[in-house]
Amino acid sequence: MATQTPADGYRDHPVRSYVLTGGRAHPSRNTLRPETLLCAVDDGRELPVGAGRHERALLETCRGTLALAELAAYLSLPTSLAAVLASDLVDAGYLTIRSHGEHVLPGVDLLEEVLDGLRRF
């Protein structure tokens, strides 16, 4: 079955994402967000023979530090799929997380001030 490319440029993948992730829809790490910076670990190890082409492409693309969203865009993969694959590579020690900034929510007082300012606007 041939992959068709409609006029808008969207191309469907012949293999569904859940097949590539073994049925998992979420990464094993909750810290992987689109802005998370990832970098390949340069310890000379090769991926196992059974690793898929997407894992290999993700690792090869991530030789420098890149955000998860950038990796997904470069590889034309959904960010959710890239997150699951990257999470597996982090768990196996092939990728490292360079940053996963703690997200501190603003206090109620600040939110109320912003809301009041918007109401006055």
The pLDDT tens digits of the residues spanning 64-81 come to: 888 989 998 988 888 888
Backbone angles phi, psi at 66, to 5 degrees: -135, 150
Residue with tokens 């998992």: 24
Tokens of 19: 């097949």
- Structural contact between residues 40 and 95, judged by C-beta atoms closer than 8 angstroms: yes
In this predicted structure, what is the pLDDT of residue 99? Answer: 64
Total count of domains within the chain: 1
Spatial distance between the Cα atoms of 52 and 82, rounded to a whole number of angstroms? 13
Per-residue model confidence as pLDDT tens digits over 83-99: 888 888 888 888 888 86
In this predicted structure, what is the pLDDT of residue 28? Answer: 55
Asked, for residue 85, whether it belongs to a domain, the answer is yes
Region 2-13: mean pLDDT is 51
What domain range includes position 47? 17-120
Q: Is 62 left (phi over 0), alpha (psi -120 to 50) or beta?
A: alpha
Asked, for residue 4, whether it belongs to a domain, the answer is no
Task: Report percent pLDDT > 70 for the chain.
Answer: 69
Asked, for residue 10, whether it belongs to a domain, the answer is no
- Minimum mean pLDDT range among 21-30, 63-72, 109-118: 21-30
Distances (CA, A) of 80 to 9, 36, 45, 48, 86: 21, 13, 26, 23, 10
In this predicted structure, what is the pLDDT of residue 40? Answer: 87
